[in-house]
């Protein structure tokens, strides 16, 4: 049922949080610039009664149906209803599970939400997030040596959101702003354990982001913040510091937060593999 307007309904049905579905669906939908997906997200669908409500909404607003359900009875009912009303449906994890089963020669356990169990990895992520929030924007610099990664950069280089994204991957991340005229914390100059990554962008991009920020805040008097020469001087200042202390440089001009975090994680993992085991 191809859409003839500039939007379509996208139904995301999950027996867990729905995070996997949302990530996959948005990654694909982003490739279609001329149409907008109207998302209907149904998390924690684990009973026939819960599924009934979902089926009613799908019938009321037909569109693409993506799902991550493990209960075979629920899958059967959902697929049958989609065939009946002639809408496409697809299991996002089904083909992957079949591939695993074929390769491993073993059936799945069928545990709903198994990826969200309260194991050591989960608590490590919570610890990383707590650490990151405590060490945001140059706070508590005495604890920087305990970080896995320290991000530095001038204003509006996405230090905080990248830090939080990394923390959700279990990487203890701190961030410190680089401001011309304000001395660096001495702790930053002597770090041994953490990977220090300097985030930078072109002055043009920084000015654009800062202008949007000022508009959001209703601040029309901070001309220095978006002055072309002043911003160029900030960028040059950050680059000089990066060269002086041999920090890794990462250009975030055209990167999303996810892409920046992925690049930082690659730098971090490469560094961990390269270090002698006795230093880890």
Condensed to tens digits (0 to 9), the pLDDT of residues 91-100 reads: 998 888 888 8
pLDDT digits 0-9 by tens, 1-17? 554 568 999 999 999 88
Q: What percent of the chain has pLDDT over 70?
A: 91
pLDDT at 48 over 90: yes
Q: What is the pTM of this model?
A: 0.70
Higher pLDDT among residues 115 and 101, named by residue: 101
Sign of the C-alpha dihedral computed for residues 149, 155, 157 and 158 taken in this order: positive
pLDDT at 273 over 90: no
The pLDDT of residue 17: 87
Other CB atoms within a 10 A radius of the CB of residue 43 amount to 17
Contact residues for 139 (Cβ-Cβ < 8 A; gap 6+) = none
């Amino acid at each position: 049922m191809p859409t003839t307007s500039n939007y379509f309904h996208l139904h995301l049905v999950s027996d867990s949080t729905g995070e996997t579905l949302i990530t996959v669906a948005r990654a694909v939908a982003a490739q279609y610039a001329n149409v907008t997906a109207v998302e209907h997200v149904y998390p924690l669908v684990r009973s026939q009664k819960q599924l009934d409500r979902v089926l009613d909404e799908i019938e009321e607003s037909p569109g693409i149906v993506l799902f991550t359900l493990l209960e075979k009875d629920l899958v059967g009912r959902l697929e049958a209803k989609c065939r009946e009303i002639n809408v496409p449906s697809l299991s996002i994890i089904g083909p992957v599970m079949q591939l695993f089963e074929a390769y491993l020669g073993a059936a799945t356990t069928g545990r709903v939400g198994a990826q969200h169990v309260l194991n050591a990895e989960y608590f490590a992520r919570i610890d990383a997030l707590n650490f990151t929030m405590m060490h945001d924007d140059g706070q508590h610099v005495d604890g920087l040596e305990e970080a896995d990664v320290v991000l530095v950069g001038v204003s509006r280089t996405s230090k905080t959101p990248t830090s939080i994204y990394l923390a959700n991957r279990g990487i203890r991340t701190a961030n410190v702003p680089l401001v011309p005229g304000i001395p660096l914390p001495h702790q930053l100059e002597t770090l041994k354990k953490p990977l220090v990554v300097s985030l930078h962008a072109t002055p043009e991009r920084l000015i654009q982001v800062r202008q949007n920020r000022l508009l959001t805040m209703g601040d029309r008097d901070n001309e220095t913040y978006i002055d072309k020469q002043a911003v160029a001087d900030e960028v040059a200042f950050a680059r000089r510091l990066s060269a002086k202390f041999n920090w890794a440089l990462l250009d975030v001009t055209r990167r999303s937060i996810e892409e920046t975090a992925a690049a930082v994680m690659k730098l971090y993992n490469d560094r961990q593999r390269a270090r002698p085991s006795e230093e880890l």
